[in-house]
């Protein structure tokens, strides 16, 4: 899933570690979300969007991504 997490985080002058502490996850988790290696739960996405005082859809862009969805991966879709 595409996202604007890095852009928004940097606009507030936050490090990955600082953002992680604010939402209760590790720096590595924030990095994985920023690099599209991990899709956050809806609750984590909500907590992140609250930090930036915006809607989830303003942080996470629900457009087609090159990465397969979890459903596609479990079904073996190519």
Structure tokens at 16: 């990955």
pLDDT of residue 76: 78
Predicted TM-score of the model (pTM): 0.79
pLDDT at position 62 is 80
Cα 27 from Cα 4, distance rounded (Å): 16
Alpha-carbon distance of 29 to 64, in angstroms, equals 22
| Residues linked to residue 3 through DSSP beta bridges, in sequence order | 60
* Helical H segments across the chain, by residue range: 5-11, 16-23, 27-34, 42-51, 56-59, 70-75
Fold classified for 2-75: 434 Repressor (Amino-terminal Domain) (1.10.260)
Reply yes or no on whether the pLDDT at 77 is more than 90.
Answer: no
Q: What is the pLDDT of residues 33-54, one digit of tens each?
A: 999 999 999 999 999 999 999 9
């Amino acid at each position: 899933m595409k996202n604007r997490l890095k852009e928004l985080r940097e606009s507030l002058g936050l490090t990955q570690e600082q953002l992680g502490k604010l939402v209760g996850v590790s720096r590595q988790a924030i990095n994985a979300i920023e690099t599209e290696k991990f899709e956050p739960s809806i609750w984590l996405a909500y907590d992140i969007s609250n930090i930036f005082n915006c809607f989830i859809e303003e942080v996470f862009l629900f457009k087609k991504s090159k990465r397969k969805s979890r459903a596609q991966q479990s079904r073996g879709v190519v």
